[in-house]
Chains A and B, each alone.
Chain A
Amino acid sequence: MSARPLVIAAVGVLSALLAGCARQASDGLVIGGAVALTGNAGLLGQDARTGLDIAQQFYGQQQPRLKLVIEDTGSDEASATQAFRRLINQQVVAILGPSLSQQGFAVMPMADRAGIPVVGISTTAPGIPEIGRFVARVASPVTVIAPRSLAKALERNPRIKRVAVFFAQDDVFCSSESSIFQKAIRAKGLELVSLQRTSVSDTDFHTPINNVLRSRPDLVVISALVSDGGNLVRQLRELGYSGPIVSGNGMNTPNIYPVCQKHCDGLLITQAYNPALNNRSNTTLLQQFRRGRDAEAVPPQVTAQAFTAYQVVHEALAKVEAGLPAGSSLSQLPPERLRQQLLSTLLDGRYQTPLGEIRFTPEGEVIQKDFSVARVRMNPDGRSGRFMLLP
């Protein structure tokens, strides 16, 4: 067989790909979404994508008009690096993401070096805003979030004395969250009776669970992601643990329902998002989210955070545009200047978002006032449920 047709076909495919890339890069202002659509964190990323898509539908009709390009960061650092590289090459005005703090430490420095503002959606590990000048986040740090659910568990049952902790040691967020939980446990004078290290890729938790059950805890605290954490909860209940469970932010999504099913019932999780909040952004988010869903459906926290990340960038860009001389537009600004102005405007502003009023420190850390603790309440079918906010 002659090699010529193959060569011609290869050249054709390459040309088409290059043409596609060139077309993507030439379309006006582009905002990049970098979320985990595949792998262990895929469930978290899908929630974030929903928030970004809703924000794009809403803000896409308003000036300045932005085009949203979403790249899949996978659930590992290498895939996230590829996704960020593609977005940087497309000269995006800002990047929203990534999904995991572990990935954030690997890829946010890339955006920082390129001078592109990057707003973390669900990256709550300590040290994220300190990565660089162009790095900010809308997800409150785990140091603020984690202790609240523990305090709520103690408030509901003051007799809790013995606490067992599980955490996924191969995820930087879970590790840091767990160390904060452990610190809070000791600070409250509780006894840490068992500490079990797991992995985000684990599916069988028999051995660590049996170790925990032997230590007879009054409370179990879990720092894990959706799949491993959901499985852990399910197996913990099936093997006989009936006490309260506090779980961390990695399991803060309705996507845990199909994993732990009826056993999700009773989980306590701190919420940075209150769906009952009455402001324009949250009303928009709720209305758009409920299209095609249950009329009472509530967006996951990550969906609200993703919407918020898009909103703050859009509002900051609108302010930058408002300050331009008449007749000029954002796309006429040199990209470096545009991004510098976006960053300084972003960090200066106050925003009424689905997360409530937020603002940023000069380092890019979010300052949020309102938090609550939710208890997962599963429906009798064992497949659906709600995050019920506790008083």
Chain B
Amino acid sequence: MQDATQLLLNGLSTGAVYGLFALGYTLVFSVLGVINFAHGAVFTLGAYFTYLLIGGAVGANGLLAGLQLPFALPFWLALPVAGLASAAVALVIERIAFRPLRERGADSLLALITSLGAGVVLVNLIQLLVGAESYAIPTGSLGGLPTAIQLLGAQVRTVQLLLLVVAAVLLVLLSLWIDGSRSGKALQAVAEDATTAQLLGIPSGRMIQIAFGLSGFLAGIAGGLVGLSVSIAGPYFGIGYGLKGLGVLVLGGLGSVPGAVLGGLIIGLAEACVPADLSGYRDVVAYGILFVVLLLRPQGLLGHVLPNKV
């Protein structure tokens, strides 16, 4: 029982990160039909923003060596502010890497490449400014909370539980907004058919910006939380999560919000179930599941088959 609880908690907390990551991909994909490859870089930025906002100083290897903000926010405040800053960056990416191509009616494959380019530029810019060294959000950032707690007989780090809770809250809020608000329904309409939505008076461009902003916000929050959990291992640390998030996105079903979360949890749980002596092969299990699911259900677990438009 204790082992099962431990596995479940480990899997859920890992899956929550993947799910949060994939949600960002999903939002953009649902409105544009394109995967935003710069999402991993925004995630990375979120971690760096959080680090700087809590009063962290830049190390010795970047152009901004020694830089420290004149104030230090508590982690609880720094995290949403970092999310907002990441959202702003995501909006800039939309403006320079997606909108010009969209306005010219370019093939969506080109937006894929420009987003990849934007991601590479961002990561290298981070390295240029703050160096390649690791940065850590101090372990005591959660105030008086203990570093680990016993839950149903299992030992779990507090930050992992926090990740799980934040991911769940964000998912619920996002679902409520999408299904229960006018703007959320407008987003769904744009996702269905942007041109028709525009004709019906829905500002498609604005809705796409909202999708990018939300996507960036989620990435920033996820980056800050992961940074707290495992430190910021240099400008490239978002790449691994980006690849896994991409797999989760496809597994859950392209463009499906609940699918992104379900996919994240499945991959997280599957990885946690890998036997100890094979733990180095976790990725094989994750992508193996993806492979099998796609063979049986190419649209993903909760995705829909898109009809060919004539």
Given A43-B234, A203-B233, A206-B157, verify A258-B283 contact (CB < 8 Å): no
Top 5 A-B residue pairs of the complex, sorted by shortest distance between their CB atoms: A197-B280, A227-B233, A42-B132, A211-B276, A203-B230
CB-based A-B contact count at 8 angstroms? 124
> Is the beta-carbon distance between A207 and B7 smaller than 8 angstroms?
yes
Whether the pair A170, B280 counts as a contact (CB closer than 8 A) is yes
Q: Is the interface of A mostly helix, strand, loop or mixed?
A: helix
Which residues from chain B sit less than 8 Å from chain A, CB to CB?
A: 6-7, 9-10, 13-14, 61, 127, 131-136, 138-139, 147-148, 154-157, 160, 226, 229-231, 233-237, 240, 271-272, 274, 276-283
B234 near A204 (CB under 8 angstroms)?
A: no
Known contacts A38-B127, A199-B283, A203-B230: A258-B136 contact under CB 8 Å: yes
Residues of B within 8 A of A213 (CB): 155
Pairwise interchain contact A46-B157, C-beta atoms closer than 8 A: no
Interchain CB contact under 8 A, B136 and A259: yes
Contact between B148 and A259 (Cβ–Cβ < 8 Å)? no
Q: Distance (Å) between the CB of A241 and the closest chain B CB? A: 10
Interface segment among A58-66, A228-236, A272-280, A336-344: the answer is: A228-236
Nearest A residue to B159 via CB reads A238
Partner of A258, one of B13, B127, B134, B276: B134
Interface string of A352-371 (1 = CB under 8 A from B): 00000000000000000000
CA distance A45 to B236 in the complex (A): 15
Please indicate the chain B residues that have their CB under 8 angstroms from the CB of A38 in the complex: 127, 132, 234-236
Give me 12 A-to-B residue pairs in the complex whose CB atoms sit less than 8 angstroms apart, sorted by A's number. A40-B233, A42-B234, A42-B236, A196-B276, A197-B279, A203-B226, A204-B14, A206-B272, A210-B10, A227-B233, A227-B237, A382-B139
Alpha-carbon gap, A328 to B237, bound state (A): 51
In the complex with contacts A207-B10, A207-B279, A231-B233, A261-B147 CB distance below 8 A: no
| Residues on the A chain within 8 Å of B279, using CB | 196-198, 207-208, 211
Task: Determine whether the beta carbon of B10 is less than 8 Å from that of A206.
Answer: yes
A40 to B132 CA separation, bound complex (whole angstroms):
9
- Contact yes or no, B134 A255, CB < 8 A: yes
Q: How far is the CA of A324 from the CA of B131 in the complex (A)?
A: 44
The minimal Cβ–Cβ distance linking A174 to chain B, given in whole angstroms, is 11
Q: Are A46 and B274 in contact (CB under 8 A)?
A: no
Q: Is the CB of B10 within 8 A of A203?
A: no
- Smallest CB–CB gap between B17 and chain A, Å? 8
Q: Which of B9, B139, B240 is A262 in contact with, Cβ under 8 Å?
A: B139
Which residues of A are found within 8 Å of B233, using beta-carbon distances? 40, 203, 227-228, 231, 259
B134 near A230 with CB under 8 A, answer yes
How many angstroms from the CA of A255 to the CA of B148 in the assembled complex?
25
Contact between A201 and B7 (Cβ–Cβ < 8 Å)? no
**Given A203-B240, A206-B13, A382-B138: A239 and B231 within 8 A (CB)?**
no
B133 touches A197 (CB 8 A): no
Shortest Cβ gap from B83 to chain A (Å)? 20
- Give the chain A neighbours of B156 by CB distance below 8 A: 206
Given A199-B280, A258-B134, A234:B231 Cβ within 8 A: yes
B135 to chain A, nearest CB (A): 6
Chain A stretch 182-215: residues in CB contact (< 8 A) with chain B: 194-199, 201, 203-204, 206-208, 210-211, 213
Q: Are B134 and A226 in contact (CB under 8 A)?
A: yes
Instruction: Name the CB-closest residue of A to B156.
Output: A206
Query: For residue A40, which residues in chain B have a CB less than 8 angstroms away from its CB?
Result: 233-234, 236
> Which of B13, B231, B236, B272 interacts with A259 by CB under 8 Å?
B231
Q: Looking at the assembled complex, report how far the CB atom of B65 sits from the nearest CB atom of chain A, in whole angstroms.
A: 10
Bound-complex Cα distance A316 to B229 (A): 48
Q: Which residues of B contact A195 (CB under 8 A)?
A: 277
Name which residue of chain B comes closest to A212, CB basis: B276
Q: Given A239-B157, A258-B136, A382-B139, are A230 and B280 also a contact pair (CB < 8 Å)?
A: no
Residues in A neighbouring B134, C-beta threshold 8 A: 43, 226-227, 230, 255, 258-259
| Pick from B155, B235, B271, B282: contact of A240, CB under 8 Å | B155
Q: Determine how close the nearest CB of chain A comes to the CB of B228; give it in whole angstroms.
A: 11
